[in-house]
Amino acid sequence: MLKPTGYGKQVVVNLKSFVSFVVSEEEFAVDIMRVREVIRLPAMTLVPNAPEFVEGIIHFRGRIVPVIDLRKRLKIAGREYKPLDRFTRVLIITLEGRWIGFIVDSVRGIIRVPQDYLKPVPGVLKSQIGGEYFDGVIQMEERLIMLLNLHRILSSEERDKLQSLNMEELKKALVDVI
């Protein structure tokens, strides 16, 4: 994008694209290149012995996709998700070659922001539990949008636990449900 400088010159401004969404009235964003698809909240199959923030799994486009409740993962209080809620969505994210679903209250859309709108994570947030999940904030007029770091949302132990789920048993359970 070209931006006038006021002196007759134009400067090239690099824009970054994000998918913006809401969880309990707080706005968050993730890099658009990580978002594979946005879908309505489907019926899920429960997973025995899964971490408490894993709501279940879905069969999506020929894959078994674990679905994480982002509200529980970020320890945000609020309403429960309902499959029939017209705003609740699942962001299907690619992370290290795997597909993972994240339940959010609603998706605001795609935002494109200049690099200088991206600010570091405030110190007060870094020091709080869960502060490690954020890469920074996006300041847009009156909006303050938290930029999620998807690699930190799940610890290596949690990723291992999700990977170690017996997928063959889960596939059979899904076939029985479908």
Residue 135 lies in a domain: yes
Which residues are within 8 A (CB) of 44 and not within 5 positions of it... i.e. 6 or more apart? 55, 56, 57, 58, 67
Residue 167 confidence (pLDDT) above 90: no
**CA 56, 61, 64 angle in degrees (round to 5)?**
30
Which of 32-36, 86-90, 123-127 has the highest average model confidence (pLDDT)? 32-36
Residue 38 lies in a domain: yes
What CATH number is attached to the domain comprising 127? 2.40.50.180
Record the pTM.
0.79
Residue 4 lies in a domain: no
155 or 95: which leads in pLDDT: 95
Residue 22 is predicted with a pLDDT of: 92
Of the listed ranges 7-16, 133-142, 158-167, the least confidently predicted one is 158-167
How many domains, in total, are found in the chain?
A: 1
d(CA 2, CA 173): 54
Residue 59 domain boundaries: 13-177
Q: Stretch 128-138: mean pLDDT, rounded?
A: 76
Residue 4 is predicted with a pLDDT of: 57
d(CA 141, CA 83): 33
Q: Write the single-letter amino acid at 175.
A: V
> Which pair of structure tokens corresponds to residue 144?
């303050």
Which of 64-68, 94-98, 130-134, 140-144 has the highest average model confidence (pLDDT)? 64-68
Residue 6 lies in a domain: no
For the chain, the distance separating the N- and C-terminal CA atoms, rounded to the nearest angstrom, is 48
166 or 105: which leads in pLDDT: 105
pLDDT tier for residue 169 given thresholds of 50, 70 and 90: low
Residue 7 lies in a domain: no
Residue 2 lies in a domain: no
> Which pair of structure tokens corresponds to residue 34?
């990580």
Residue 156 confidence (pLDDT) above 80: no
Residue 146 lies in a domain: yes
d(CA 55, CA 101): 10
* pLDDT tens per residue across span 7-42: 656 666 689 999 999 998 889 999 999 999 999 988
Residue 1 lies in a domain: no
Residue 178 confidence (pLDDT) above 60: no
56 or 141: which leads in pLDDT: 56
